[in-house]
Amino acid sequence: MTLNHYLTVTKTFCNWMATEKRLSANPVAHLSKLKAETDRRIERHPYSVEELALVLAAAESGGIVHGMTGHERAPVYRRHNKRLALAGDSKPHPRLIRL
C-alpha cells in the first residue's frame, strides 16, 4: 500500500464522518496526494535475476498463504513475472529466470 492509498482511504472515511455529523468538518480535506513520478524516496526497479530467485525460493519454502502452499505459489509468481514482461510493462523486466 502507498501513502496515496492511505490518504484516499482516510479522506473517504473523514468525509463519511462529516456527512454523518460525527465530525464538524473533514480535517484532512486540504491534503493532496504525492506525485509518484517526482517523489523518489523509493526507487522502483525490476527484480534482478538474483532477487527473483530469492523471492521464488522463499515462496517455495514458505507456509500456507491464502490457502496455497509455498510449492503451489512459486509457479504463480513465475507466470506473473513472464506475463508482465510479455505485456510490455511500463518498465519491462529485462531478464527472466527459469527455475
C-alpha cell at 22: 460525527
Q: What is the pLDDT of residues 83-96, one digit of tens each?
A: 544 444 444 444 44
Q: Is the pTM of this model over 0.75?
A: no
Q: What is the pLDDT of residues 55-90, one digit of tens each?
A: 778 878 888 888 888 888 877 777 766 654 444 444
The residues spanned by each domain of the chain are: 1-42, 45-99
Report the candidate in 45, 61, 58 with the shortest Cα–Cα distance to residue 95. Answer: 45
User: Percentage helix, strand, coil, to 5, in the chain?
Assistant: 45, 0, 50
Instruction: Please say whether the beta carbons of 33 and 7 come within 8 A.
Output: yes
Length of the chain: 99
